[in-house]
Homo-oligomer: A and B are copies of this chain.
Amino acid sequence: MLLIGCFPGSLSINVPFFTVPLARAHGKSFAHRSDLRQAKRILVKLGSAVVTRGDECGLALGRLASIVEQVAMLQNQGREMMIVTSGAVAFGKQRLRHEILLSQSVRQALHSGQNQLKDMSLPVLEARACAAAGQSGLMALYEAMFTQYSTCTAQILVTNLDFHDDQKRRNLNSTLHELLRMNIVPIINTNDAVVPPPEPNSDLQGVISIKDNDSLAARLAVEMRADLLIALSDVEGLYDSPPGSDDAKLLDTFYPGDQHSITYGTKSRVGIGGMEAKAMFNKLQVKAALWALQGGTSVVIANGTHPKVTGHVITDIVEGKKVGTFFSEVKPAGPTVEQQTEMARSAGRTLASLEPEQRSEIICALADLLTERKDEILSANKKDMEHAVSTGRLSPAMLKRLSLSSSKLNSLSIGLRQIAVSSQDSVGRVLRRTRVANNLELEQITVPIGVLLVIFESRPDCLPQVSALAIASGNALLLKGGKEAANTNRILHELAQEALSIHGVKDAIQLVSTREEVEDLCRLEKMIDLIIPRGSSQLVRDIQRAAKGIPVLGHSEGICHVYVDHEASVDKAIKIIRDSKCDYPAACNAMETLLVHRELLRTPLFDQIIDMLRTEHVKIHAGPKFASYLTFSPSEVKSLRTEYGDLECCIEVVDSMTEAVDHIHKYGSSHTDVIVTENEDTAEQFLQQLDSACVFWNASSRFADGYRFGLGAEVGISTARIHARGPVGLDGLLTTKWVLRGEGHTAADFSEQGSMTYLHENLPVAQVLPGRRTTS
């Protein structure tokens, strides 16, 4: 039997308030957020989420409506929803004020002849009276709102006495069960009109019912064996230290064993009296949550007042997203993803300070492990393959990408050794040296970016490659692989950590649990410096959308063009078009639109191109101008901005090279574009004028690739305009820092009265291979 929570007012704090034997309760207490999706019976507690604060205290209607919408939606999914509401006091306060104003105005009018409604002072209203006045209006509002979703509601008013009496409790229990059975949403409130008066000096702004509601909700959740209690409040959740202090972090998950570490934040925006009440309220809320958890109900405390998320806070919680603080009884074995990120950053700093040879040794060790421990890897991969085959959820192409073989591991190993070589002069390379003044020397050197998050789909061979690139560039790395390759990724990550251990930086690479949602990872704004998605363009788009505030390296679109000039060579044109379109149509550097100079129409070259495309089974769509030249045209394109990613392409006619450039600027994605011509002047103009990451003359668009460009391993292809553009190699994982060494120099020394002058003399940097010193 546990004793937590209380009613405020005249009831003593320490009276055990509820006597339901906990063993009897059997709501599901879930161990992970993702389990919440199974919750069938959900109790939503609307605390300050439906009350506005400030001078004009009333209901937050928009929030209330959003909450009703979400509850109705979940109910329509077949879940049993219950609401413990606040707001009767707030609703009634508005109504009573109006009444008082009216009666006052009559009195004033009699006395002074004035009728200035707005300037009149208002008396303090008694909360219980407000509650009584507001309850009917509030219920009418709920009913009107739920009617919109064809959902029926029922009103339940209770007091704490109802819980003390076993018979009454059983009555309440069976009433609620009956309502739920009939798909009716019970809306439960404390019967404030009959409870004792609030203590003087306590916060009157609706807190009276909020305080009750925390323990009431916890009680009901346990009594009704709810699977999940969602307690909406106006705080984000639980923090590990007072919110607002330098170190305060929102706890994503809270384990009761950690209870000693809770600090109850005081909220400065409520006045002094309010602060204390507020601190107590938070404490009560936490205690109620813990009590519910022990009674077998999972609890999430979240902010229901945040404008950006209110519209989906409840559904997000039920979908398992990381909103607010989740109370769980089971502490997972491993560290949280935030802890993993901290560990990675710390070990990454050590990794960056190693000698280049040491980083190279780690990569070679990993290369060795890939072949030495081949059997373990392949057996883990076999498990994943078998599971994938048995569930049948992967396409043959995906299965092929998932599968590893002895020869794949060998070539992976060879690739890693190449990265090891190129890692030798990546970090700490001096790019610029300047003598600013006598004995004041400036260097710009390459340094790692920090913590990378790489999100990759099915292909497990991505893991050692990306790990090697991160090690070579001295970056910490968080890896998030697909569920389908979980076993393979686990062993590969173990090997990477084993290799890192030889120089004591095991933690620099972390594998994130498959339970973590990509969207949640993208929100770790201050912890991750760069996100690199490796997978479908859909994955990239999703991540670009989710990653607010963290740069994403990659491209979401590859609308590549091949322009065939009227002075093109027949052979080259045919070869390049075939290769650009057919070599690997799903690649981002495959041709999507073929631009043809108008003079080529009705020439043998044009017929040969069409014949070749037909032979290769390429489906042709006609651009509007091309269609207008034909008697019988292929289907017209819906948009000239289409990325087919298949054996399909669009053909459009242009009058000149300049028009081709204009077309590409307008409809292209600045990825890779090609001109086929024998006229060097035309070609050079095209190469100069066209503003794409890669511009090619008489070469297939398929060369746009880090390996083919000779960059060694490739991080991806970027169509961003800053940092890195086109195929990105190791350099894309580096940034720079400026190191200045002086002898007590100050800016004042260089002022008009000062003794020094700037020299700004460029000094030679250490010799590097030509072409190796590149911009990142």
- A residues with a Cβ closer than 8 A to B are 52, 56, 58-59, 61-62, 64-66, 68-69, 91, 94-95, 97-98, 137, 140-141, 144-145, 147-150, 245-246, 307, 311, 349, 353, 431-434, 436, 440, 442, 444, 446-447, 449-450, 529-530, 548, 551, 569, 571-572, 575-576, 578-580, 583, 639-641, 667, 683, 687-689, 691-700, 702-704, 708-710, 720-727, 731, 735-748, 750, 758, 760, 762-765, 769-776
Contact B689 A353 (CB under 8 A): yes
Question: Looking at the complex, which one of B436, B571, B703, B765 makes contact with A703 (CB distance below 8 Å)?
Answer: B436
30 contacts between A and B (CB under 8 A): A56-B149, A62-B311, A97-B150, A144-B144, A245-B639, A246-B640, A353-B689, A431-B775, A444-B775, A530-B721, A575-B746, A579-B748, A580-B746, A692-B737, A693-B737, A694-B738, A694-B740, A695-B739, A696-B742, A697-B740, A698-B742, A703-B740, A703-B747, A709-B738, A710-B762, A721-B735, A722-B735, A726-B736, A762-B772, A763-B771
Residues of B within 8 A of A141 (CB): 141, 144-145
Q: Which of A667, A726, A741, A772 has the most CB of B within 10 A?
A: A741
Contact A693 B91 (CB under 8 A): no
Q: A721-B530, A770-B764, A771-B762 are in contact. Are A147 and B745 (CB under 8 A)?
A: no
Complex Cα gap A571–B746 (Å): 12
Min CB distance A302 to B, Å, is 18
Contact B432 A774 (CB under 8 A): yes
Contact B721 A725 (CB under 8 A): no
Complex Cα gap A59–B72 (Å): 13
Chain A interface, DSSP helix/strand/loop, else mixed:
mixed
Min CB distance A458 to B, Å, is 23
Q: CB-nearest residue of chain B relative to A442?
A: B709
Contact A722 B449 (CB under 8 A): yes
Residues of B within 8 A of A727 (CB): 738
Contact A725 B746 (CB under 8 A): no
Min CB distance A344 to B, Å, is 14
Q: Which of A583, A691, A747 has the most CB of B within 10 A?
A: A747
Question: Looking at the complex, which one of B436, B447, B683, B693 makes contact with A708 (CB distance below 8 Å)?
Answer: B436
Residues of B within 8 A of A147 (CB): 94-95, 98, 137
Residues of B within 8 A of A724 (CB): 722
Min CB distance A93 to B, Å, is 10
Complex Cα gap A65–B67 (Å): 12
11 further contact pairs, Cβ within 8 A, besides A447-B691, A450-B691, A762-B769: A62-B65, A246-B641, A349-B689, A436-B708, A548-B548, A697-B739, A699-B746, A703-B747, A708-B758, A722-B724, A775-B775
Residues of B within 8 A of A689 (CB): 349, 353
Complex Cα gap A442–B530 (Å): 28
Residues of B within 8 A of A736 (CB): 725-726, 775
Q: CB-nearest residue of chain B relative to A759?
A: B710
Complex Cα gap A49–B735 (Å): 48
Contact B137 A144 (CB under 8 A): yes
Residues of B within 8 A of A450 (CB): 691, 721
Contact A710 B442 (CB under 8 A): yes
Complex Cα gap A548–B575 (Å): 42
Contact A148 B740 (CB under 8 A): no
Complex Cα gap A311–B63 (Å): 10
Residues of B within 8 A of A349 (CB): 689, 691
Residues of B within 8 A of A693 (CB): 737-738
Q: A144-B137, A150-B56, A432-B771 are in contact. Are A667 and B748 (CB under 8 A)?
A: no
Min CB distance A484 to B, Å, is 29
Contact B150 A746 (CB under 8 A): no
Q: CB-nearest residue of chain B relative to A66?
A: B62
Min CB distance A16 to B, Å, is 39
Q: CB-nearest residue of chain B relative to A152?
A: B98
Contact A583 B436 (CB under 8 A): no
Give 6 nearest A-B pairs by CB, closest first.
A699-B742, A579-B746, A710-B760, A572-B744, A762-B771, A61-B65
Q: Which of A144, A530, A698 has the most CB of B within 10 A?
A: A144
Min CB distance A712 to B, Å, is 9
Complex Cα gap A723–B728 (Å): 13
Contact A58 B149 (CB under 8 A): yes
Contact A745 B700 (CB under 8 A): yes
Residues of B within 8 A of A578 (CB): 746
Question: Looking at the complex, which one of B432, B687, B700, B710 makes contact with A747 (CB distance below 8 Å)?
Answer: B700
Contact A699 B744 (CB under 8 A): yes
Contact A530 B62 (CB under 8 A): no
Min CB distance A82 to B, Å, is 20
Q: CB-nearest residue of chain B relative to A573?
A: B744
Residues of B within 8 A of A695 (CB): 737-740
Residues of B within 8 A of A94 (CB): 147-148, 150
Contact A742 B697 (CB under 8 A): yes
Min CB distance A596 to B, Å, is 17
Residues of B within 8 A of A446 (CB): 775
Residues of B within 8 A of A775 (CB): 431, 444, 446, 731, 736, 774-776
Contact A726 B737 (CB under 8 A): yes
Contact B737 A725 (CB under 8 A): yes
Residues of B within 8 A of A774 (CB): 431-432, 444, 775
